[in-house]
Amino acid sequence: MQNLTITVDDSSPTFHYSPSPVWSSATPLEDANLSSYFKNTTTHTNTSQAKVTFEFWGSSIQIIGAKSPNHGNFQVQLDDQSFGSARELSTTIVCTKWTFKWKT
């Protein structure tokens, strides 16, 4: 079977942010590094327990983002499999990616 990689921007309607009023897109005034991000977009919240869902068929997903002094932790779950917390907090701004693979 061939591998196929598709990159989906956080502004895509395939992402479902909930509760929706607590999520917003950053402006260049809020994030000086916005031009470094894919399609110059980023979606963020300061609300604990807020979540984003994305439905796909496959066995793994990569989350590409930035670690920064003003970022926090996030949790990933694929189907019923939890991957615990990943940390976005860093003393400097660093672009990074996390890969999560579904285990059978």
Residue 7 domain-assigned? no
CA distance 24 to 90: 22
pLDDT for 23 equals 94
pTM: 0.74
What residues make up the domain containing 58?
A: 15-101
Please give the tally of structural domains in the chain.
1
Do strands 81-87 and 73-78 pair parallel, antiparallel, or not at all (unpaired)? antiparallel
- In this structure, is residue 48 part of a structural domain? yes
Q: Is residue 77 part of a domain?
A: yes
Q: Tell me if 3 is assigned to some domain.
A: no
Please check whether residue 9 lies inside any domain of the structure: no
Q: Is residue 1 included in any domain, yes or no?
A: no
104, pLDDT greater than 60 = no
**One-letter amino acid of 79:** D
pLDDT band at 19 (very low <50, low <70, confident <90, very high): very high
For residues 61 and 30, give the distance between their C-alpha atoms in angstroms, rounded to a whole number: 28
